[in-house]
Structure 1
Amino acid sequence: MAIGEFEAAATLPGESGILLSTPMYWLYEMGHAALSPARALADVTRLYYKNPANPLTHTVYGKSVAAAMELFERSTRRYGRPDWMIDDTVVGGERIPIDVKTVWERPFCRLLHFERAFVRAPRRPQPKVLIVAPMSGHYATLLRGTVEAFLPNHEVYITDWRNARTVPLAEGRFDLDDYIDYLISILHVLGGETHVIAVCQPSVPVLAAVAVMEADKDPYAPNSMVLMGGPIDTRINPTAVNTLAVDRGMDWFRSNVITKVPFPHPGFMRDVYPGFLQLHGFMSMNLDRHIEAHRNLFLHLVKGDGDSAQKHREFYDEYLAVMDLSAEFYLQTVDTVFVRHALPKGEMTHRARRIEPAAITRTALMTVEGEHDDISAVGQTEAAHRICVNIPDDKRVHYMQPNVGHYGVFNGSRFRAEIAPRIADFVLSNNGAGKGGRRSNGH
């Protein structure tokens, strides 16, 4: 399953689009509120038909009613920000407790540290890793598996982007320039000797932030950056969502996918690209698969297959939890990355200053792609090597993982077994002054 990038909203039906004005968001909120009594009734009915004291509970009829009520309730609820559910990790055969702490905060982002409560210091080096989560609709918890893979042997930090709907208008705007400023500020807070891992959408702003820092001779520029399934140059093997972004044009996006946050949310009257529209784009990309998954949930519940039903719940609790994006960030990113291709063409700017990837000389570069990625196709991330011309050859690595899609680039069994160990090796080989990386063809 792919993590649909935010340009997936271009899958909205109709060439003329649907005019998404402020009342549309209000109608969505009213519809959700209107269904509340029905959801409550469905939940009560489900509990009635799951009560062991009810004779119908043990019949096919009772199980079918309970399953149908659960499907209705889950299909109409609003999913909040999921929990990390990371309580511990195993280091050197010892289970170490994890405490998730906020160590830096701005209106649109928190920096989280997965602090490991060691009784005694680990023997192996523990490189400091900053995972930059996508700000493309899902919460940072979608990278739970990514975090867990690095926790045993790394000091892990992650950007936890806030839902724009919860940020008061008085906190000001947030665009791509602000995103880059946040990254630079975070790297300063971490104090150097840091390795950055950008997952999907952040690949462009991470590369831009590193270029700005290198051009300024900033001592806190990271030792290495790993770009995973990112849209560095979407002109290469363009996917359906890439071409739709170009075909629609910026005027279509401004007129059809931007709305204002309704009352009573804290971000009342803020211009956003709303989460419910995000979800429409995500679901429509693989609608048949989602329908089949929910059909299977019904059958699992009727048959009493609790394990399969729980796996479905866990996946969709995460997948259906989406957040609003700041309109400024969304529109500037679509224009810069997917319409004008500004970074690979040497035209991207930060605060009216041109980004110079050629200024990167000290930060090692690794790119990772998935063979079947339908969001950031093969070649789009590797393009970073062609624009970062002054990184020494011994500090470059590119790896293409066979038989995985977009989601498999940063999560799943192949990520844990084949991708994460390569990233860990690359990070360790660049963990300190004077240490170079190794050129690799991925084998």
Structure 2
Amino acid sequence: MLYPLHELWRTGLAPLAYWADANARIYSAQDSWLSSLPGSQRTAAGFELMYRLGKDYEKPEFGIHQIEVEGRAIPVVERVALEKPFCRLLRFKRYHDQADGLARMKDDPVVLVVAPLSGHHATLLRDTVRTLLPDHKVYITDWTDARMVPTDAGAFHLDDYVAYVQEFIRHIGAQQLHVISVCQPTVPVLAAVSLMAARGEAVPRSLTLMGGPIDARRSPTAVDNLATRQPLWWFENTVIHTVPANYPGVGRRVYPGFLQHLGFVAMNPERHGQSHWDFYLDLIKGDLSSAESHRKFYDEYNAVLDMPAEYYLDTIRTVFQEHLLPRGLWDVAGERVDPSKIRDCALLTIEGELDDISGQGQTRAAHDLCTGIPAQNRKHITAEGAGHYGIFSGRRWRTQIYPQVRAFIAAQAGLPAATVASKNTPKKSSPRKNTRNQGTAT
């Protein structure tokens, strides 16, 4: 009954949220006489805070329409490369109107970013994608909200996640591919590549694992402790609910996004409370830049999705309770996962010094498992001062971590790192011949 009650609460709150939004606009609009009343700015700030606390947050858009390469604005078009019931493989296709620039972009390494299926949408990695695009051809997994998947599509287990990753790798082409997985998918991605290597299939040229629970026994965090504090049946009976009738996935058993969001907030309630109070004060002071930063962050943070119950329970059991991957006991569709079979794929692991979701050592544990990869093809980075989100988004990601990721991928692709690193540096314009390759894509 919890899911229907939540929907009832959300529906009942909607008129109040719309009313608060309308009043916030009325008391802040320059052409409104109410905005000239004493205290109007404070009133507008209060109404907007009420609106943002009560509104429904839909899935955001990536909104990446252009990037800058060598001082030139390059259009980007988001396309669906492959669509499956529980995930879309998206490609960010870059266009160039100069033949020489197009030729250079065609030689860029191909990257598959495997986004987490852990409550937030893939758009949480918008900054990751935008940073990668000037130097790479980029694909990303865009996981579907389980409440939007009809029950006739069947169940979705952790094994299916592994199978999806393998299919995406084959679809793009493993020979020139570099895979980056962020947080939760580090485990199924490592399994997918391990199984492909064991079968003698082509594997990606490099594998970058960022802030994930390869071995959750190391430096356990509050997330790890929560997953081990209760038996599996408790999770199934307590947090698994059925999608109500107002969604296409009616009748599907899921771990609801609103419960996951509640868990996110409960980890740092004081920080979120202070953030909303600061937002209110910024509106009163007229600090529109800080207020807009708050809006952008919480538009993403508050937008959550439902996870299939089978997948969620499989993850709790396999990754956090029984630690089957590091113990060498994980079977996927009857095949044993053995990372030591990986030989022709370089490995980079990245952890944040202050990560409170995946503790230090959890991701680095992959090096102990991938013994078949030569030492010269393995590297680890611990990002000083970075929390969990800081290793794939924000200033530290862009200035400290990404340059090392770019150089690592370039080395495995056989490209001079210095050449790749200089691509975003504006160059002096030089005469170019007219070309008919206007708007050609890569």
User: Taking structure 2 as the reference length, what is the TM-score of the superposition?
Assistant: 0.90
Shift in Å, 1:423: 0.9
**Pairing partner for 1:118 from 96, 99, 106:** 96
Asked if 2 retains the 8 angstrom alpha-carbon contact of 1:223 and 1:432, the reply is: no
Asked if 2 retains the 8 angstrom alpha-carbon contact of 1:60 and 1:302, the reply is: no
Alignment of 1:112-261 (within 5 A): 112-119=90-97, 120=99, 121-123=102-104, 125-192=107-174, 193-219=176-202, 221-261=203-243
Q: Distance in 2 between matches of 1:364 and 1:183?
A: 18
Instruction: Report the counterpart of residue 335 of structure 1 in structure 2.
Output: 317
Q: Distance in 2 between matches of 1:107 and 1:209?
A: 19
SS of 2:120's partner is coil
Matched, 1:430 2:408: no
Q: Distance in 2 between matches of 1:237 and 1:159?
A: 29
Shift in Å, 1:330: 0.5
**Pairing partner for 2:24 from 21, 46, 52:** 46
Alignment of 1:268-279 (within 5 A): 268-279=250-261
Shift in Å, 1:90: 1.4
Q: Distance in 1 between matches of 2:91 and 2:222?
A: 36
Q: Which amino acid aligns with 1:31?
A: W
Cα deviation 1:254-284 (Å, max 9, x = unaligned)? 1111000001100101000001101100111
Asked if 1 retains the 8 angstrom alpha-carbon contact of 2:121 and 2:305, the reply is: yes
Asked if 2 retains the 8 angstrom alpha-carbon contact of 1:227 and 1:381, the reply is: yes
**Matched length:** 410
Q: Which amino acid aligns with 1:106?
A: K
SS of 2:325's partner is coil
Q: Which runs of 5+ in 1 are unaligned?
A: 1-22, 434-443
Runs (4 or more) in structure 1 with deviation over 4 Å come to none
Asked if 2 retains the 8 angstrom alpha-carbon contact of 1:364 and 1:395, the reply is: yes
Q: Which amino acid aligns with 2:312?
A: Y
Asked if 2 retains the 8 angstrom alpha-carbon contact of 1:130 and 1:158, the reply is: yes
Shift in Å, 1:383: 0.4
Matched, 1:67 2:45: yes
Shift in Å, 1:59: 4.0
Instruction: Report the counterpart of residue 94 of structure 1 in structure 2.
Output: 72
Name the Cα RMSD after superposition: 1.4
Matched, 1:26 2:4: yes
Shift in Å, 1:346: 0.3
Instruction: Report the counterpart of residue 423 of structure 2 in structure 1.
Output: none
Alignment identity in percent? 46
Q: Distance in 2 between matches of 1:326 and 1:275?
A: 10
Q: Distance in 2 between matches of 1:56 and 1:107?
A: 50
Instruction: Report the counterpart of residue 325 of structure 1 in structure 2.
Output: 307
**Pairing partner for 1:419 from 382, 387, 401:** 401
Q: Which runs of 5+ in 2 are unaligned?
A: 416-442
Q: Distance in 1 between matches of 2:251 and 2:211?
A: 34
Q: Which amino acid aligns with 2:138?
A: V
Matched, 1:400 2:378: no
SS of 1:343's partner is helix
User: Taking structure 1 as the reference length, what is the TM-score of the superposition?
Assistant: 0.90
